[in-house]
Structure 1
Amino acid sequence: MSLITHEENALVYFTSPLLDGCEGIAHGFSTRKGGVSKPPYDTLNLAPSRGGDPAAVEENYRRFCAAVGTDMHRVVLAQQVHETTVLQVTEERAGMGLWRDRDYTADALVTNVKNLPLTVFSADCGIILLHDPDAGCVGAVHAGWRGCAAGILEKAVREMERLYGAKADRILAAIGPCIGQCCFETDGDVPQAMTAALGADAAPYLEDRGAKWHVDLAGLNRQWLLRAGVGPEHIDVSELCTYCRSDLFWSYRKVGGRRGAQIAMISLR
């Protein structure tokens, strides 16, 4: 199912219909609309490390967190290095990444602590939110093609099971906007890595167009969730391409390094 669009005072964000049905969480996928950052970070840049005015980034967090119903002073930001570390986020890390220095690197965050908004970043990569309502735990995962091929999503599911008693078949998942197969053009290394990891299950998401391949990153991340035991009826997938929709998103492939970033955030209430 596609994500739901929300607009509040020019701020545009998305939520998952599946996660919207859960009373115990707040969540959202941001866009670049509705903030105060100046070009080339205009306007809702939520990445403190990308550049621009730090005060503007803080104001952007104030606006986004107010819209989705989370506490900006307790956000926990991923420190993404395109690896497969899944960090168990505890109370002591509240505010790390925005208000305090991070003491970790991690591309996935999981917690069962209330009011700890977990945050991952994207400018083409996959961003995925996870929730087991019965176990009372949430996760936020950054899965670009390297993390996807390395199985970070399945690892995050297993960590939620190990740490909090979650069950894969109860987990609800929302895959946010990322670069689409229409625009994710690669050499052979990406499909080779996906095939090595997923075998024949990768084939439907890899299209050979002669000199280049076109890769469905959202579809591959969904395949990892299915492999981990998440039911197909428990997965929402955005149909938006970050490269195509430069009015809504930053795309690293389109604009390079001078840009902001959008986020996915989830918190237990």
Structure 2
Amino acid sequence: MPDPDRLHACVPADWWRPAFSHPRVGAVMTGRSGGVSLPPFDSFNLRDGLGDDPQAVQANRAQLQSIVGRPVQRLTQVHGVAVYTLEALSGPEAALPIADAVATTASDVACEIQVADCLPVLFAHVGGRAVGAAHAGWRGLAGGVLEATLARVCDLAGAPPGEIECWLGPCIGPARFEVGAEVLLAFGATPDAPGPSFVASLPGKWLADLPALARQRLRAAGMHRIGGNTGAPDWCTLSQPRRYFSYRHAPHTGRMAALVWLSVADATA
């Protein structure tokens, strides 16, 4: 693993550098800047198959791996709740695991999930025994992807939820995420009783607070070490299209990545 000072020197200034308690845990969240892709994928698009030049995507991914200092495992994300346990890289792109979360105790690989408005959530055991990453759009969040990821990290670390910490990354913000009644119903709310995470907007529409919903579910699952996205405007992907890829801003766009990994050093309890 690169030393932390070198990692920070390599990371563009507008990327996020999530901080976790244990020195074994490394993490980074990419933005749009720092790559070679041309518009509308400018410039650090990390997903092929969207219309971007495959060589540009390959160059961006090679740069990401260099920054992280180890091979990176990504997923075929389907807005579900499956969690992949990473022991070694799965192989070629066509063989990517179909899952929306990944967890590991290995120190020679990094966990990656990709987003462009959905909420990325990174998990780590406070003693550095295990890490995980989850992709939480509203469907996955309502379905329990965060609880499933937390359970897998707890199992791998041999620890209760109170010993796991997490970081919520940038996503579409509560002032911009307009949804219909089906989203309220998925979270057990109703148009007559929407609750604090949904604010009435246009007729039949509400503004949903995705990070608040995530925090609510994580606390209910036993977590109390929750950092990152507060719902403030600077965390909103849709409001800052120059910094973030946003599918709602422009469906023909790239993808960012949130990554977490463990160094080789021995863990402590």
Above 0.5 in TM-score? yes
Whichever residue aligns with residue 254 of structure 2, its letter is: G
Give the Cα separation in 2 of the matches to 1:123 and 1:82: 13
Query: What SS is found at the alignment partner of 1:41?
Result: coil
Give the Cα separation in 1 of the matches to 2:37 and 2:89: 30
Task: Please tell me whether residue 85 in structure 1 is matched to residue 91 in structure 2.
Answer: no
Task: Please tell me whether residue 13 in structure 1 is matched to residue 15 in structure 2.
Answer: yes
Choose the corresponding residue for 2:256, options 248, 259, 262: 262
Give the Cα separation in 2 of the matches to 1:119 and 1:105: 13
* Shift >6 Å, 4+ stretches: none
Whichever residue aligns with residue 182 of structure 1, its letter is: A
Deviations 1:105-134 (A, max 9, x none): 100001111121111011110110000032
- Equivalent pairs, count: 250
- The unaligned stretches of length 5 or more in structure 2 are 1-7, 264-269
Distance 1:47 1:166, change over 3 A: farther
Whichever residue aligns with residue 70 of structure 1, its letter is: G
Query: What SS is found at the alignment partner of 2:149?
Result: helix
Distance 1:166 1:236, change over 3 A: farther
Q: 2:101, 2:135 within 8 Å by CA — same for their partners in 1?
A: yes
| Equivalent residue, structure 1, for 2:45 | 45
| Equivalent residue, structure 2, for 1:23 | 23
Choose the corresponding residue for 2:247, options 233, 243, 252: 252
Give the Cα separation in 2 of the matches to 1:243 and 1:7: 27
Shift of 1:192: 1.4
Q: 2:25, 2:128 within 8 Å by CA — same for their partners in 1?
A: no
Distance 1:213 1:246, change over 3 A: same
Distance 1:105 1:50, change over 3 A: same
Choose the corresponding residue for 1:209, options 184, 196, 201: 201
Task: Please tell me whether residue 137 in structure 1 is matched to residue 134 in structure 2.
Answer: no
- The unaligned stretches of length 5 or more in structure 1 are 1-5
Choose the corresponding residue for 2:165, options 143, 161, 172: 172
Choose the corresponding residue for 1:116, options 109, 114, 120: 109
Shift of 1:226: 0.8
Deviations 1:6-52 (A, max 9, x none): 675756310223x2x42102211110011100111100001123231
Distance 1:39 1:206, change over 3 A: same
Task: Please tell me whether residue 195 in structure 1 is matched to residue 171 in structure 2.
Answer: no
* TM-score for the superposition, normalised by structure 2: 0.86
Query: What SS is found at the alignment partner of 1:142?
Result: strand
Task: Please tell me whether residue 243 in structure 1 is matched to residue 243 in structure 2.
Answer: no
Give the Cα separation in 2 of the matches to 1:143 and 1:183: 17
Considering fraction of residues, name the structure with more helix. Answer: 1
Q: 2:141, 2:214 within 8 Å by CA — same for their partners in 1?
A: yes
Percent identity, aligned pairs only? 31
Whichever residue aligns with residue 258 of structure 2, its letter is: A
| Equivalent residue, structure 2, for 1:60 | 60
| Equivalent residue, structure 2, for 1:226 | 219
Shift of 1:159: 1.7
Task: Please tell me whether residue 153 in structure 1 is matched to residue 146 in structure 2.
Answer: yes
What's the C-alpha RMSD, in Å, of the aligned pairs?
Answer: 2.2
Q: 1:37, 1:43 within 8 Å by CA — same for their partners in 2?
A: yes
Shift of 1:76: 0.5
